[in-house]
Amino acid sequence: MDEDEKEMLFEAHARLANNRDKTPPPGFYDVADEDRPIELNKFPTTIEELEGERRRRVDKEARLRKQDAARNIIEQRQDAPSAILQANKLNDPETVKKRSKLNLPARLIPDHELEAIAKIGIASDLMEE
């Protein structure tokens, strides 16, 4: 071993040997409040913890959907007479409004002028080719 490595090992040995905790001398400032533990927010650190939260949320949503469906079925059973009346109103031929005939204004351009315009368009296409 060369001198640098020996010196490095000697310093490391000295640091490890000096492991007695000496209390520091009192300073100018009061540090009694700084000894309280720091509160850390616990975030999920593993995939299992993350998946567990998501699964709980998905299970809760599925349970709530089932409850809503059950409530809707119960409400439909209890409200059957009014549902039948409403369906009858929709199917009643008297309440269905008949459509009137569509009234369009008269043509502004007669048929023979439209045919002439079409012939001019065809002729111009043939001339371009």
- Global pTM value: 0.29
Work out whether the CA dihedral 59, 64, 68, 70 comes out positive or negative.
positive
44, 53 Cβ separation under 8 angstroms: yes
pLDDT, one tens digit per residue, over 36-92 is 667 777 777 777 777 777 778 888 899 999 999 998 888 877 877 887 888 888 777
pLDDT, one tens digit per residue, over 92-113 is 777 667 778 888 888 888 889 9
Q: What is the pLDDT of residue 21?
A: 72
| Contacts of 76 by beta carbon, 8 Å cutoff, 6+ apart | 83
Work out whether the CA dihedral 76, 80, 85, 89 comes out positive or negative.
positive
